[in-house]
Structure 1
Amino acid sequence: MPNLLSRGLFNLFFGSKRKAFEKLPGPTPGVLGTLGDFIGPNPWDVCARYGREYGGVTLIWMGPSPGLVLNDPAVIEEILLTRRLEFEKGNIGTQIRPTVGDTVFIANQGEDWSAKIKVEPMAQPWAAAWLAALVGPLQAAINESVDALLKEPSIDLTPTLRRLTFDGFAVAAIGEKTPDSVFEDFMLLAKGADARLQAKLPLRFVSFPEGFEAAKERFYGYFTERVRRARAALNPSAVDLMSWTLREMPTVSDAWLGHILGTLFYGGVFSTSTTLVGAFHQLQKYPAAEERLAAEAATLAGAPLTFEWLRGAPWSEAVAYEVLRILPAVRIFLRTPAADTELAGVKLPAGSTLMVSNQHLHRDPSHWKDPETFEPSRWLNGGTARDPAGSGYFFPFGRGPRECVGAPFALLFLQTALATIAARVKVHVDSTEPFEEGFFFGVVLPKGVTGRLIARPSQAASLPGSVHPSAAVKTA
């Protein structure tokens, strides 16, 4: 809590402004408002704490400007659903536009977003068929990555699963993995956006990494060239997003589709790989859940994975949902009123900061039984219908019309990756202590989650140099 002098200075200068918000609970502001609460701790932890301490609506002060932290499903529904046209995403477009361009993700509400979503490939009626056809190619890509990782004595799961996810996304996007140089350009552009997202200074003082513009030209140029080649020799049976879009939307330009394919990686690689890290960390912590996943996946036994198998594999789906509940990759959704407005019983000026928090709601003990426990069985027997993604207490991808357009693909990828990896190996995590969490490109960044892959007995005989699980455990 700010000291007496700091509180006094805030009241001296802004006390009259504070009176208009006195009905709302919140931490006592000091000379910097309540910004001090966010210095040091992760912002999502602060927002969740506010939900526990102050309830669904917490008044904060960003210096002299009022804002709200929202942990109330009804008020969140207003912002993201019923009154969504009144609220924009704030300055995130300015922060990441140099990396991703003018995409549907950062588009303004109303006609700008509406026009972009109409031509977004993953929002088309045929996208469901594209997803169903992807399972086999994704399994093959993930198996190839697992083969390489089995040779590593130790891995850092965050960068390792990030690359595995990137390669899987490449197969989904263009039908094949990309050269290492494309991934390197992808990361350089992401670091440029991340520096702007985390900047404590005006953006004009934040420099891009060396080689940023050249990397951007190469990265998006790579996908544009792939589109040009695919259009010249269109494969009627190819199931990647590029080929499917060219068949269904033949008038789109090469540059436009190349850019859409490139931004697919920024829309999901970091969040999806983070979720996989969280899943394997929790599965190590709760071995009964891991054993059940392995048993379900064992029915694959070298057979090709299909969409029908996934639909009949409730435990791998439940594991995916449960990690999205307990460790969502995105835990704060920012909004700002486009004009002066009234919300939660107070009048907010245009540009006010609204932090929509899901961490507390995903673990609210009034809604969830044993909320701190990783328990995939809560999603069986109608659990996904009781708390569908995008509902009041479970919105890892956001809520309403602007819920992440790639959410169905992310869920398919997660379930495919979990089943494919569990069928081949046990992901041994060195420590089940809570891992340190940072922040990168708007997504939670797990730190220090190390481990190794251990071939399952049915796989060990055919894998040179592999170690029997029991032997690995004894020497751990």
Structure 2
Amino acid sequence: MNPALAIDTPRPLKEYTPPTLELLKAIRREGFLGWMTNTWRQHGDLLRIRMGAQSLVLVTHPDHVRHVNVTRRESYDKGESYDVLRELLLGNGIVTATGEDWRWQRRLMAPFFTPRGVEKFYPIFLSDTQQLIERWRSQLQGSGRPVEMLDEMMRVTASVILHSVFSTESDEALLRIKNSIETMVSHISDTGMRPVQVPQWVPTPGNLRFRRAHKLVTAYIRELIARRRALPTEQWPDDLLTKMMTIRDEETGTLMAEQLLIDNGLTMFAAGHETTARTLSFLWYALSQNPEVERRLHAELDSVLGDAPPTINELKRLPYTLQVVKEVLRLYPAAPMYARDAVADDELDGVRIPAGTRMLVFTYGTHRHPAFWDEPERFDPDRWLPEREAARHDYAYHPFAIGPRICLGNNFSLLETHVMAAMLARRFKLRLKPGHVPRIDMFGTLGSSNGLPMLIEAR
């Protein structure tokens, strides 16, 4: 063989095809996320997994994460993997748009979500968290009754996002929209996990619930848009919907079309409240399991904050609180994995990747990679001391994805989580229900199949 030819020939991609019965048993025993993690640990960083008719390439090593998201980003996009989300929930909003359409939306909307831009919503973070504090004080603290923490966090983050995007004031409207979108998200997650797909036109109970929820939410957003257009613009509320309705492309003067306003309104709510709620839920779980971390967090909060809600400047004096948030995002990323589709032939680490290949970027695995994290399963906020963070591989941590398609709302979510963690931990301790062992798994996003029941105690 010609040595030069051998060097240029891509090496074969390692493959793993579990027998169907073995796969089903393993997922039932370990959960889908546990099975994926064990498969990665057993077979390595770059692996093609065949599951029946489905095939995907698992991407875990930070160098490979960089290749897909940054170095060769033009070869990977949100293609077929996102068709269900496009069709059923998000339309052509910024999360699912591709190519020039995505670049146009990103250019218009990015200024709203810079670190300085999201500070505009700080008063909403404070007031909605304060309402939760009052409710916990009056109804729950010391009651001895466990609450489902994910439900509690969903309620407050839904309030934040509805106030921020739509200026919704009515509690009835808030709960109606929140419940409808959660019905839609749950339906899509359940559909994606089924081995046999039932067409959406079949009138199953799940499909009918989904249609009712989708009709309600889209009608609500459409009505808000119509009401605003009937008023002089100076009377429009200063929220994200108004910003989207009034922003013009600097080059063409083009405004967002009504359907795109609806798509992005849905996108901001669906993506903006659930993931933050899951991060906060696992933050309380992590603190309940790590008393020394909780003690240090309480000491920082008590030394900086009084009884009033924190100012922006006070929040900046809570570095350990932010380190705790970052460590929760490492061990418990709300999106444990995300897809990218190869739109052109490529070569990754000497392996040929044909166009059409589905790449599954395995955030949950990257965040536990032993080559980049000491004792990766240990909850250690000191990993986020500035000198340790600076020394780490830039792509070993990507809870909001990374590169040009990093989540647009990452700064919004980080600030919201920082505020809520500080205000709630200043006043309460949250304890996992005695004897409860969460079964952590992925249901579209990270969750616990048996919940996170917690007791609320006053500090």
Describe the shift of the 1:76–1:37 C-alpha distance in structure 2 as closer, same or farther (beyond 3 A).
farther
| Residues 65 and 352 in structure 1, CA contact (< 8 A), matched pair in contact too | no
Which stretch of structure 1 is more off in the superposition, 347-356 or 259-268?
A: 347-356
Pairwise CA distance, 1:431:
4.5
* Structure 2 CA distance for aligned equivalents of residues 248 and 88 of structure 1: 26
Q: Which residue of 1 aligns with 2:447?
A: 445
2:98 is the counterpart of 1:103: no
Q: 1:296 to 1:426 in 2, by over 3 A?
A: same
1:397 counterpart residue number: 400
State the distance in 2 between where 1:248 and 1:89 align: 25
Separation of aligned partners in 2, 1:53 and 1:212: 39
- Pick closer, same or farther for the CA change 1:382–1:237 going to 2, 3 Å: farther
**In 1, Cα distance between equivalents of 2:435 and 2:239:** 37
Of 34, 37, 43, the residue aligned with 1:54 is: 43
Give matches, 1:370-385, under 5 Å.
Answer: 370-385=375-390
Stretch deviating more after TM superposition (327-336 or 88-97): 88-97
Alignment of 1:257-276 (within 5 A): 257-276=261-280
Which residue of the other structure, out of 277, 289, 293, is the alignment partner of 1:289? 293
**Larger RCO: Structure 1 or Structure 2 (Cα < 8 Å, ≥ 6 residues apart)?**
2
Structure 2 counterpart of 1:187: 182
Q: Distance in 2 between matches of 1:259 and 1:397?
A: 20
Give the 5 Å matches for 1:390-429.
391-429=394-432
The TM-score normalised by the length of structure 1 is 0.80
> Would the aligned equivalents of 1:225 and 1:258 in 2 still touch at CA under 8 Å?
no
Q: 1:194 to 1:54 in 2, by over 3 A?
A: closer
Deviation at 1:63, TM superposition (A): 3.8
Residues 1:124 and 2:111 are matched in the alignment:
yes
Q: 1:95 to 1:88 in 2, by over 3 A?
A: same
Post-superposition offset of 1:272: 1.3
Distance 1:373 1:432 in 2: 21
CA contact under 8 A between 2:59 and 2:362: conserved in structure 1? Answer: yes
- The change in CA–CA distance for 1:203 and 1:124 in structure 2 (over 3 A counts) is farther
Distance 1:273 1:165 in 2: 6
Which moves more between the two structures, 309-318 or 251-260? 251-260
Contact 2:27/2:35, CA 8 A, preserved across alignment? no
- State how many pairs are aligned: 430
TM alignment of 1:41-80, pairs within 5 A: 41-63=30-52, 67-80=56-69
- Structure 1 residues 257 and 195: alpha-carbon distance in aligned structure 2, compared to 1, 3 A threshold: same
Tell me, what secondary structure is at the counterpart of 2:446? strand
Structure 1 pair 222–300 and aligned structure 2 pair: CA distance change class (3 A): farther
Does 2:308 correspond to 1:303?
Answer: yes
Letter in 1 for 2:310: L
Which runs of no fewer than 5 residues in structure 1 stay unpaired? 1-19, 457-476
The two structures have a TM-score, normalised by structure 2, of: 0.83
- 1:4 matched residue in structure 2: none
Residue 238 of structure 1, CA deviation: 6.0
CA gap 1:189/1:59 in 2 versus in 1, 3 angstroms: closer
> Which of residues 116, 126, 131 in structure 2 aligns to 1:144?
131
Equivalent residues of 1:130, 1:241 under 8 A apart: no
Residue 466 of structure 1 is matched in structure 2 by: none
Q: Find the counterpart in structure 2 of residue 342 from structure 1.
A: 347
- 1:313 positional shift: 1.4
Give the distance between the partners of 2:406 and 2:279, measured in 1 at CA. 17
Q: Which residue of 1 aligns with 2:4?
A: none
Helix, strand or coil at the partner of 2:309: coil
Q: Structure 1 residues 431 and 247, CA, compared in 2 at 3 Å: closer, same or farther?
A: farther
What CA distance in whole angstroms lies between the structure 2 residues aligned with 1:26 and 1:61? 8
Identity %, equivalent residues:
24
Q: Which of 87, 101, 106 is equivalent to 1:112?
A: 101
Structure 2, unaligned runs of 5 or more? 1-8, 249-253
Kept in 2, the 8 Å contact 1:25–1:58? The answer is: yes
- 1:213 counterpart = 2:202: no
Contact 2:429-2:456 within 8 A present in 1 as well: yes
Aligned to 2:3: none
Residues 141-163 of structure 1: per-residue CA shift (max 9 Å, x gap): 01102322331332011122111
CA distance in 2, matches of 1:260, 1:333: 20
Distance 1:30 1:238 in 2: 55
Q: Write the deviation string for residues 193-251 of structure 1: whole angstroms up to 9, x where unpaired.
A: 22332232245267553243343232133234334445625568965323444565595
Alignment of 1:156 onto 2:148: yes
1:407 deviates by 0.9
- Secondary structure class of the residue paired with 1:382: helix
